[in-house]
Structure 1
Amino acid sequence: MQQEPDIFDRMAAQGASAQAEQSLSKEELLAPVESGIATQSTSRTPPNVRQALQFLLAHGWLESATKPKLFSLIAAQTTLLDALLEPLDLRVVVDDVRGLAFLAVVPDYAGDGTDESEQDDWTHPLMKRQRLTLEQSLLLALLRREFLQREQESGTGTAVRVTVDSLLPQLETYLGATGSDMQERKRLGQLLENLRTHGMVTEVDAQDCITIRPMIVHLLNPENLQTLLLRLRAVAEQGSAGHGEGTP
């Protein structure tokens, strides 16, 4: 006859069963946590892509001539970068021919029901609109024309360098001469320095030359040129009207 387990055997068996259930519960709880950590680590943005994105957010643009590795990475990962920038209403524009990559606001950013008067004062929290004076815009147009002419002569992607002296007579044609060479050169130097801060030109080098950056083609597009032309015509008409009023 088989002897039934006594009270001590039953207590030991229950303790072992509870310990097994407790151990299993811990494994079941830890499994999803470990799986989530693994998924999170595999879904992290690659370090090189993070570096490229941070550089663009810090500077706004880059050229392959100075940052060849970052430019190649951005050109190859444009889709991924656009997805990462989507919550910021930004996108990456790559000019492969000129070796240029820069951030731009998505076209429909302001298309959220705001009227035109509100859009005139709108600024993106990360990409603020840069307003140039008439003189700065005029010099920008002259530099753009010089840049495109050199590209037609030497091919797209060629570095375009011009002397400061060659810009003086062009600027005087539209702004007029002050009668002082020193004053005119100082005026041009101030305008060039302002455009340099916008990434349009380099500093004046030892040969008294500047390099026009390819970003100038994208900043001063045909629409902006048309606006500048209308502004110049308005200024010219105002000057003619004022001159006519003062003539007997």
Structure 2
Amino acid sequence: MAGFFDKAILSETPDPLTITAGSPADDLTSHPAPADSADSEQRTGKRVREAAQELLKYGLLEENQKPNLYRTALTSSAQIADILEPLDLCMGIDEIRGLLFIRVRQDELAEEDEWSHPLVRRQRLNLEQSLLVAILRQHFIAYEQESGTGASQALIAVDDLIPQLQVYLGDPGSESKERTRVINLLDQLKAHGLVSAPDAHERVIIRPIIAHLASPANLQALLIWLREQLNRRLPAAEQTSDEFREERE
């Protein structure tokens, strides 16, 4: 026997055959929510999104580091271009070296410094870092001339970099200090994607993006300036030494 509450519920439940237009049930059946599949069909493919996100996160994609994302970005370059275009960015392609990298669209910033782009962080290198970049780039170009463009194992040892830096920066007076200085500089350049971490033999791999980081003209100007500073320093040191000698006499 149905109780009081059972009768009350049954009396308030509408007969499905007598539902009138405009009722809540009619809204549910006549206006179904859009299916998730419709939204997913309009979205960019997952792998293309991942490749674009990787490019924006690190600024580059290397074939030997992430081959799947590299191939996706390369074969979907038109879609990647559509993603980057509203940001005034584009994708640089260096297939010989297996390298894709983010570039600022120069046609949009023809008369402006590309560092003024709102999505590009100004990461100026100091004097020591810039000098090491110039030295590493010379080694990388020499390696490609010997092994062919696109070779990806441009190794250089810390011990080979120490005397080259000493020519311009001087000797700190301690071998351990000099080694620490070079290792710290390499670690700083590693954050820019220019070198790998040192291996067990204290060697690093020079990454191919270094070929695009700075123009040869800028690097040559840096080396000329450093030589000028060195030439000015030497006469000044000799003059001080002569004055000290005269005072003692």
On whether the aligned pair clears a TM of 0.5, the verdict is: yes
Distance 1:226 1:86 in 2: 33
Partner of 1:194: 188
Name which of 139, 163, 168 aligns with 2:157. Answer: 163
Q: Does 1:145 align with 2:138?
A: yes
TM-score (norm 2): 0.74
User: How many angstroms does 1:236 deviate by?
Assistant: 3.8
Distance 1:146 1:52, change over 3 A: same
Measure, in 2, the Cα distance between the counterparts of 1:244 and 1:208. 37
Answer whether contact 1:196 1:202 (CA < 8 A) is retained: yes
Q: CA deviation at 1:39?
A: 7.7
Unpaired runs of at least 5, structure 2: 1-19, 21-26, 244-249
Q: Which residue is 2:83 aligned to?
A: 84
Aligned to 1:8: none
* Distance (whole Å) between structure 2 residues aligned to residue 173 and residue 107 of structure 1: 37
Work out the CA distance in 2 between the residues paired with 1:204 and 1:75. Answer: 30
Give the direction of change, closer, same or farther, for the CA distance of 1:230–1:170 in structure 2 (3 Å limit): closer
Does 2:175 align with 1:181?
yes
Q: Equivalent residues in 2 for 1:32-71 (5 A)?
A: 42-71=41-70
Deviations 1:114-159 (A, max 9, x none): 6xxxx49x53222213211111111111111111111111222221
User: What is the rounded CA distance, in whole Å, between the counterparts of 2:44 and 2:69 in structure 1?
Assistant: 15
Contact 1:144–1:220 (CA<8 Å) still a contact in 2?
A: no
Alpha-carbon separation, structure 1, partners of 2:120 and 2:108: 12
> Which amino acid in 1 is paired with 2:71?
S
Shift of 1:40: 6.0
Distance across 1 between alignment mates of 2:193 and 2:56: 15
Show the counterpart of 2:214: 220
**1:130 matched residue in structure 2:** 123
The residue identity in structure 1 corresponding to 2:109 is: A
Write the distance in 2 (CA, Å) between the matches of 1:206 and 1:174. Answer: 28
| Residue in structure 2 matched with residue 15 of structure 1 by the alignment | none
* Aligned residue pair count: 215
- Superposition deviation, residue 79 in structure 1: 2.2
Aligned 8 A contact 1:163 1:210 in 2:
yes
For the 8 Å contact 1:92–1:101, the answer to whether it is kept is yes
Structure 1 residues 135 and 40 mapped into 2: Cα distance closer, same or farther (>3 Å)? Answer: same
Structure 1 unaligned spans of 5+: 1-18, 20-25
Asked whether the equivalents of residues 63 and 101 of structure 1 are also in contact (C-alpha less than 8 Å), the reply is: yes
Percent identity between matched residues is 42
Secondary structure of the equivalent of 2:116?
coil
In structure 2, relative to structure 1, the CA distance for the partners of 1:241 and 1:39 (3 Å cut) is farther
| Distance (Å, rounded) in 2 between the aligned partners of 1:227 and 1:130 | 19
Query: Considering only aligned residues, what root-mean-square deviation do their CA atoms show, in Å?
Result: 3.0
Please report how far the alpha carbon of residue 43 of structure 1 lies from its aligned counterpart in structure 2 after TM superposition: 3.7
